[in-house]
Amino acid sequence: MDKNYLKKLQQFQKTINIFFNHPELLERALTHPSYTAEHEGKNHNQRLEFLGDAILNSVVAEYLYHHYPNQPEGRLSKMRAAVVCEPTLARVAERLGLGIYLRLGRGEELSGGRTRPSNLADALEALAGAVFLDQGWKGARSFLHNLFEGEIKKTAQGIYPDYKTALQEIIQQQGNEQLTYVILSESGPDHAKHFTSGVIWRGHLLGKGSGGSKKESEQQAARAALEQMRNKTNRSEKY
């Protein structure tokens, strides 16, 4: 490992207050696939990302189950989805300054990869996987509780990530077209309306979502579109 990068990793460990028994796990968690394409013999972070996603979902689900005993299953699922989503993960990663420590290929570096939300979110999930492998469930659980407790509490208060802004930022990379949100259906009495919205781009329905207000249904439609985009990206990277 390069000495200068080793120093950076040592600084990062101080920042997150986790000191790895196997620092190569941390190095791998912060290594983007574009870097390995230019450097033979290096492992990228996608397998750790897969593991970290499962660990993070489990930790958040356990926290919600114990701290919100009066919430039904459907509400808990929505809260977990709001916490373990790209906008929230990217925001937490930014708070850690994680982008500074990413290993990127030249092209990814020049195109703003250090601040790209998807890179930050993926690296944070990979970091969760690395901490789990190095520190065990107890260490990962404690680390993730400290990172996400504030986000969980915001979600419980009804403060959700701005999925619409996150989606618009991605779309703007393709051009200047604007997204259009439409109400697909509404039901229920006036005091308890339920709306289903769709988000449309270039004549295609990117996602749809439901909620007790038009605003919430639009946010859920944007969230669905983001998840669909991410799933397509993950599938394309596998083949």
Give the catalytic positions in this structure: 53, 125
100-129 residue pLDDT tens = 999 999 988 998 889 888 889 999 999 999
The percent of residues above 90 in pLDDT, for the chain, comes to 54
Residue 239 pLDDT > 50, yes or no?
Answer: no
Residue type, 27: E
Structure confidence at residue 236 (pLDDT): 57
188-236 residue pLDDT tens = 877 667 889 999 999 999 999 988 778 878 988 998 998 888 777 665 5
Cβ neighbors of 196 (< 8 A, separation 6 or more) are 183, 184, 185, 186, 208, 209, 210, 217
Q: What is the three-class DSSP state of 18?
A: coil
12-32 residue pLDDT tens = 999 999 999 999 999 999 999
DSSP string, 70-91: TS-HHHHHHHHHHHSSHHHHHH
> Could you give the CA distance from residue 88 to residue 85 in angstroms, rounded to a whole number?
6
> Could you give the CA distance from residue 38 to residue 101 in angstroms, rounded to a whole number?
17
> Could you give the CA distance from residue 112 to residue 135 in angstroms, rounded to a whole number?
32
Residue 37: Cβ within 10 Å count: 14
Binned at pLDDT 50, 70 and 90, residue 146 comes out as very high
Phi-psi region of 36 (alpha: psi -120 to 50; beta: other; left: phi over 0): alpha
Cβ neighbors of 52 (< 8 A, separation 6 or more) are 29, 124, 125, 126, 127, 128, 129, 130, 132
Cβ neighbors of 34 (< 8 A, separation 6 or more) are 104, 105, 107, 108, 113
Residue 132 pLDDT > 70, yes or no?
Answer: yes
Domains of the chain, with CATH numbers? 3-156 (1.10.1520.10), 163-238 (3.30.160.20)
